[in-house]
Amino acid sequence: MNSLPFVRFVLPLTCQIALIASIPAQAIYTHLTGTEVVLQTVPVDPYDLLRGYSQTLRYNISQVEKLETLNGWESVVRQTRDDEDETLPPDGTSLYVILQAPETESESSHPTPWEAIAVRYQRPVELGNEQIAIKGELDNRWVNYGLERYYFPEQQREELNQRIRNLQADETGERPFVVEAKVDERGNAVPVSLWLEDFPLRF
């Protein structure tokens, strides 16, 4: 009888520890087994990549307006909405964006982004050559992929801020920021590196 309170204490604690441990374990698995893809970033308002020691990024596939143009979007809406007049799935909806590798590398100084070609409500079972499906979650007309915020050591802060300022001063309006990420077979993604034009920054 005396062991019952001990079990009631240890069992929940063990479950919590296992849950916490599973988070980095999933990231390690994705990093080791995932396919490397390149994602194009887009400006956020304001486009201030580094705030303190953290960085916030959005991607072209983060924009609902972009996903609405892809094959499969209407199917996502139909499977998540009862009202036929609704055109947007509810917040918290998970979806998968199919990315296609570029046929050839461009002559730019950073890796060529992959192209979003379709969106699915369920994880695709079969994909074409040089394709991968990345999992996202809808949140207030944006889609998050777990690749939106990063933290950097203090000693890198000023150098990175200066590089970003220099790139933003480009009068052409180009923002050559791309992110390399690893995506595993279940659609989970982890960041690998951020390219500030020709400067790769490993995460």
> So where are the chain's domains?
32-202
* pLDDT at residue 42 in the model: 84
Sheet containing 35-42: give its strands across: 58-59, 35-42, 177-183, 189-196, 199-202
In the predicted model, is pLDDT for residue 169 greater than 70?
no
Q: Around Cβ 105, how many Cβ atoms within 10 Å?
A: 9
Q: pTM of the prediction?
A: 0.79
The confidence band for 45, taking pLDDT boundaries of 50, 70 and 90, is low
| Sign of the C-alpha dihedral computed for residues 34, 36, 42 and 44 taken in this order | positive
Q: Which of 109-113, 114-118, 143-147, 180-184 has the lowest mean pLDDT?
A: 109-113
Q: Is 108 exposed, middle or buried (0-12, 13-18, 19+ CB in 10 A)?
A: middle
What is the rounded distance in angstroms from the CA atom of residue 121 to the CA atom of residue 143? 13
Average model confidence (pLDDT) across the chain:
80
Q: Output the CA angle 171-173-47, nearest 5 degrees.
A: 115
What are the pLDDT digits (tens) for 146-155? 999 877 777 7
For 137, the 3-state DSSP assignment is strand
Using an 8 Å Cβ cutoff, are 197 and 176 in contact? yes
In the predicted model, is pLDDT for residue 173 greater than 70?
no
